[in-house]
Amino acid sequence: MKLTKKLPALVLALVMCLALASCGGNNASNDGDSSKHYTIGICQLVQHDALDAATQGFQDAVVAGLGEENVTFDLQNAQGDPATCSTIATGFVANSYDLIMANATPALQAAVSATTEIPILGTSVTDYGEALSDKDLDPAAGTGINVSGTSDGVPAQLYVDMVKDLVPDAQNISILYCSAEANSVLQADQFTEIATQEGFSVSTYTFADSNDIQSVVTAAVADADVLYIPTDNTAASNMTIVAGVTEPAGIPVICGEENMMANGGLATVSISYYDIGYECGKQAVEILANGADVSTLPIGYAADPVKEYNPEYAEAIGFTVPDGYTAYVAE
């Protein structure tokens, strides 16, 4: 009889213990739980060496921080189409992924349009203020929204200095980029402002997509002493076409990044896309495992840019590179 009276109390105590255990589990998950399994959607704008390296760096850092068994990557390539980026990002949101990594500016913009809740990390994005239409954005203070990441930005002055260093007699510079890429426009404008202030005549040549590249490059090199191409994804995917025009013309081509240069340019101010991807992956670990607030994470930047040249292109156009440049060696 006494045991029977105690049963309701025992049951109640058991229920309360289970409830407390459940609450404790949720709190641990919110603060970061290394045993939880995470799903990360990766939207890469287009396949080329620089973006591929950034994606690989990101995945390597996440695996190192969370453990391979605790993360699933859904890697999708938009084949250079911003509209496809939007479709991919919408799918990630519909599946309630834990985090989205957006590789390149159009991918970032698509992800931002798709969600205000899921943490988004960008990489291979030159200027986050430009990409997010926030001119007052302070990269060191974070974006204030569900976005952070790493940048491939290099000061335009370094490229102008490279033109003066490599081609001291140059007067006419042509700039080539895809008009659909906002960060390419930004880089071209920054370069033009500095170069014109320093006495160069600068002409801009843009293409809408890869179908226009050959004809636009042909026009660009006609009166140019030097061709400058910023970190433009469409150009990066078609550097063999660019080189098919510039190499026979003997035009020095200054590229925005190493892999563009390796596939058809003379020189660049080189950063490591693998490294900025890896730093982005470390940010993902901080958010998922350690509960970091994505809105306050500072934007990361590449360290120690290096002046680099392509020996094969230099030889092909009969160009002697001065001291102070590192020869590119394919891995």
Query: Residue 241's closest CA among 259, 223, 215?
Result: 215
Average pLDDT of 167-184? Answer: 95
The C-alpha atoms of residue 198 and residue 67 are separated, in whole angstroms, by 51
Token digits of residue 7: 């049963």
Query: Residue 122's closest CA among 136, 111, 137?
Result: 111
Architecture of domain 38-153+272-298: 3-Layer(aba) Sandwich (3.40)
Token digits of residue 292: 């970091």
Q: What are the b/e assignments for 266-293, b being 16+ CB within 10 Å?
A: bbbbbbbbbbbbbbbbbbbbbbbbeebe
Residue type at 4 in one-letter notation: T
Domain residue extents for the chain: 38-153+272-298, 156-270+306-327
3 state DSSP class of 79: coil
One fold for 38-153+272-298 and 156-270+306-327? yes
Residue-wise pLDDT tens digits, 110-147: 999 999 999 999 999 999 999 999 989 999 999 999 99
Give the pLDDT band of residue 10 (cuts 50, 70, 90): very low
pTM, full prediction: 0.78
Backbone φ and ψ for 307, nearest 5 degrees, come out as -80, 120
Residue-wise pLDDT tens digits, 46-101: 999 999 999 999 999 999 999 999 999 999 999 999 999 999 999 999 999 999 99
Query: Residue 223's closest CA among 170, 184, 167, 261?
Result: 170
Architecture of domain 156-270+306-327: 3-Layer(aba) Sandwich (3.40)
